[in-house]
Amino acid sequence: MTSIDSRIGQIIAKRRPTAENIEKVKSNLGSLYTSLNNLENKKKELQDQSTEQDPNLASKLDNLNFSRLQVLIINQLQVLNQMQVRFSRETLNLAVVANAKQGKSRLLRSLTGLSEDVIPDGNKGHCTGVASTIYPNHDGNETYALIWFHTPESFLMEIIAPYYKKLQLGAAPKTISDFKKPLPSLPPELAQNTNNIYKEMYYYLDKYHKYLNQYESSLGTTTLSKPLKTTTDSEIRKYVAQYDPQGNSTYDYMAVKKCDIFCPFPNAPTDKIAVLDTQGLGDTGVGDKERLIEVIGKSVDIILFMKMPHPTSASWGTSEIELYSVANTALANHLPLEKWSFFILNQTDNLKDRSYLQCELLKSQVPNTIKVIGDLIIANCADEVQARDIILNPVVDYLIEHIETLDREYSDSYQQELNQLQLQINEELEKASNMLITQTENQEAWIHKSNNLFNKSWWREFTGGFNKIYKEITQKNNERDFKNQVHFKNQVNEAVKKAKSNSGLPLDDPNGMTAFQKIEEEITTDETGERDGIYNKYLNKARTNLTRSFYSLDDGLNEAINEVKIKIANLFVDKLGFDNLTDKRGVEFIQAMSESIQNDQIKKAFQVLSEYRLSFKGLILPRIRPLLKDLESRGDKKIFIRVGQAANRTETEAQQIFHNVETLYEETLNKCKDELKNMLGEPVQAALAILEEFEELAIRDPEIKDEWWSYIIENRAKIWVDEFGERNSSAYQAEWQNLLQQAKEYSSSNNFQIFN
């Protein structure tokens, strides 16, 4: 990799974070647009509803203009798209811009090494039919082109519709079939205009219409990821040129939307430079200015303007000034064209000395409106050496030296526009924030009503309802026989019954052998004589089987917890007006509140309650684990040490192992059963504990009442439906403020920054 490659690679790498930031700003602006649209719709709804009740409000809402802000956002999104393309490119791009017959095609051929077939020139005026981008071919010496065609829709919208609008021909065709119908006549006032420009435009439109059958089959045949690839020079030419080598008109280019050409590019000092062959003004009629501006704004880092002096006279015409002026509009508000453009005077081979003098004369008479980097460059554009040494290399050097500064200046200038937009949006949102509350209801009366409802009704109902729940659970705990305890007791009995149904030695043999048969087989095949190892192995099996028998107790443990959650949920839904906040009920209501509420302490209270669960492993296992020691395998566990009875010397080794394990299993199970009976009240005690924790967070905290007030006021239209619901004007205030809050979140300054 050359030093130039490395330097440009660093520049391109530095651009990528900006492109990523632009994507974030675009996404935020899209969300902000939607929020403003919601506000505009709500404004109209309020105006319709308040016309009779409050004419003043309807009139004052007219002062809010969210639609204007939406238009500004759309405009900024268009510029951001243009910027994003610039900062996402993998090359630095040069564009050659010139009117017809200035030697543009010859310069491009000198720079790229392409043939006349690929970059044609001709004697019939403009020859370039489609703007193309020429890239160095990284993969070898092959020359090929990737062609993207218009879809029928984009062809009609981008190419044909502008003619209908400019020429006042009525509604543009919506389908290709419509376009095949006879063209509307040019209106008399345009047809009789002394300026022939309208007739010229109509001529171009008529050409698209007349020769549609020549290119229609190409429309819609490519996608973004699947272009047409063509490798022969003549094929490439027919898609980018208006004439064939013999000067005959061609029409395939009319269907082309975009063309990328890849070639060896022998004069390029780096493979990270691309050159754009642009259309000049007047090339294709209506829309050529707009297309040139779009290409320059999105795809170009440096412009190379060109002019070839007339053999017998040297003067600047209006066409060069107009071309410069059009190009200048691409980034004029953000980056002056004089900082990113060069001007080349094409010295031709014919009458070489005379041509040079004409170039010098033009150089001394540059119009004040044309400002470029340094002096105008005089070079023979048909000479590859001059094209490389006098034009390309100095331009690339300038790019490497200044592009980062230009990028920053461009972005900083646009950032000021974004900041201004953000200020305008915030001013409008602030104006809207105070409008409705002062109009729909007297603010003092509204606050007074809300205070009374909260302090004298809602808060009392909340605290009183909670205390009632707590007393009910406490009383049932004292009685020690309420349904949760009974439910847990039944589950314990069921688990013990299941554990007793086997010997502790499960039938885990794939051949269906009993545990005793399996022990016998293992002793028969064991050549070590170490029976204690077999004994300890089956102790482990018995212990594991016993603990697994109790895993089902999880549901019983949480019955009391779930009853508490349901009671709290019913309190909020049935008594406190939360039935409109979510359609979830019972345990699911608690979870829904924990996810939707944003107020910190209230959210935490619901989260603690929602996530609280008891488990066998957390509550029961630590209590019964010490009771399992007799079933643990250790070195001192000998098979002839019987537990609970004397050794029977007449038993086989297999019988001794089986009976020992069976006896230890049953005794351990009985100990566990006794311990579990002592724990029957613990789930209820845990339920009381979580009730107290919820009370600590949701009621007793010194700041919690203010937080509840804030949350209730924010949702008052749904909670106090009769007082502030849909039939009450304060409901409008609640929804209005919610919509404003959403918009304000998107309009924060951090969301408008294209640089970190």
Three-state secondary structure readout of 701-715: CCCHHHHHHHHHHHC
CA angle, residues 96, 97, 100, in degrees to nearest 5: 115
Are 402 and 509 found together in one domain?
no
- Is residue 642 situated within a structural domain? yes
Residue 488 resides in a domain: yes
Q: Give the Cα separation of 745 and 210 in Å (integer).
A: 54
Q: Range of 549's domain?
A: 443-725
User: Which alpha helices (DSSP H) does 89-184 contain, by range?
Assistant: 104-112, 152-154, 161-166, 176-180
Question: DSSP readout, 243-300?
Answer: B-TTS-B--GGGGEEEEEEEE--TT-S-TTEEEEEPPPTTSSSTTHHHHHHHHHHHH-
Bridge partners for 148 per DSSP: 258
Identify the CA nearest to 163 among candidates 130, 211, 128, 209.
209
Which backbone phi and psi does 260 adopt, to 5 degrees? -115, 130
Q: Looking at the structure, do residues 748 and 701 belong to the same domain, yes or no?
A: no
Q: What is the structure's pLDDT at 379?
A: 93
- Tell me whether residue 333 is in a domain: no
From 297, 259, 298, 301, select the one nearest 277 (Cα to Cα): 259
Regarding whether 714 and 597 lie in a shared domain, the answer is: yes
**Residues 349, 352, 357, 360: is their CA dihedral positive or negative?**
positive
Residues 691, 623 share a domain: yes
Residues in the chain with pLDDT < 70?
A: 1-2, 49-57, 122-126, 280-287, 350-353, 434-446, 477-488, 501-512, 526-530, 555-556, 616, 618, 633-651, 724-734, 756
Per the CB < 8 A criterion, the answer to whether 35 and 743 are in contact is yes
CA–chain centroid gap for 146, Å, is 29
For residue 250, tell me if it sits in a domain. no
DSSP annotation of 578: G
Collapsing DSSP to helix, strand or coil, 144 comes out as strand
pLDDT value for 274: 92
Quote the CA–CA distance of 623 and 411 in Å, as a whole number: 67
658's CB contacts (< 8 A; 6+ apart) are 503, 505, 515, 516, 519, 538
CA distance 410 to 304: 19
Provide the pLDDT for residue 122: 57
Is 568 in the same domain as 488? Answer: yes
Answer for the pair 406, 134: CB distance below 8 angstroms, yes or no.
no
Determine the pLDDT at residue 213.
95
Whole-angstrom distance, CA of residue 412 vs CA of residue 404: 12
Sign of the four-CA dihedral 250, 251, 252, 254: positive
What tokens appear for 607 in the block? Answer: 């989260």
640 Cβ contact list (under 8 Å, min separation 6): 647, 656
Domain contains 712: yes
- Beta-carbon count within 10 A of 511 CB: 7
Q: Domain check: are 602 and 690 in the same one? A: yes
Does 736 fall in a domain? yes
What is the longest distance spanned by two Cα atoms in the chain? Answer: 133
Cβ contacts of residue 78 below 8 Å, gap of 6+?
none
748 and 630 inside one domain: no
688/474 Cα distance (integer angstroms):
7
- The H or E element spanning position 752 is none
Please state the φ and ψ torsions of residue 540, each to the nearest 5 degrees. Answer: -60, -40
Residue 37: φ, ψ to 5°: -65, -40
Q: 288 Cβ partners below 8 Å, 6+ apart? A: 279, 280, 281, 282
Please count the residues of the chain.
756
Instruction: Estimate the share of the chain in helix, then strand, then coil, as percent rounded to the nearest 5.
Output: 65, 5, 30
Can you state the angle between helices 393-440 and 729-746, rounded to 10 degrees? 160
For residue 590, being part of any structural domain is answered with yes
- Residues 668 and 580 occupy one common structural domain: yes
Strands 302-307 and 132-136: unpaired
State how far Cα 227 lies from the chain centre: 26
d(CA 147, CA 269): 26
Alpha-carbon span 408 to 331, nearest angstrom: 13
Residue with tokens 């974004």: 418
Q: How far apart are CA 564 and CA 559, in angstroms?
A: 9
Phi–psi pair at 755, nearest 5 degrees: -120, 145
Do residue 697 and residue 742 come from a single domain? no
For the residues of 370-403, what is the DSSP string, one character each?
---SSSPEEE-TT-HHHIIIIIIHHHHHHHHHHH
Q: What are residue 307's phi and psi, to 5 degrees?
A: -150, 135
Q: Based on the fold, state whether residues 713 and 741 are members of the same structural domain.
A: no
For the chain, the domain total comes to 2
Does residue 680 lie within any of the structural domains? yes
What gap in Å lies between CA 393 and CA 402, rounded to an integer? 14
**The token pair that represents 477 in the structure block:** 């705990």
Q: CA 716 to CA 719: how far, in whole Å? A: 5
Within this chain, do residues 447 and 585 fall inside the same structural domain, yes or no?
yes
Contact 552, 615 (CB under 8 A): no
Structure tokens at 395: 């331009």
DSSP per-residue string spanning 215-251: HGGGTT---SS--EEE-SHHHHHHHHBSB-TTS-B--
Q: Are 321 and 359 contacting, i.e. CB atoms less than 8 angstroms apart?
A: no
User: Are residues 434 and 557 located together in one domain of the fold?
Assistant: no
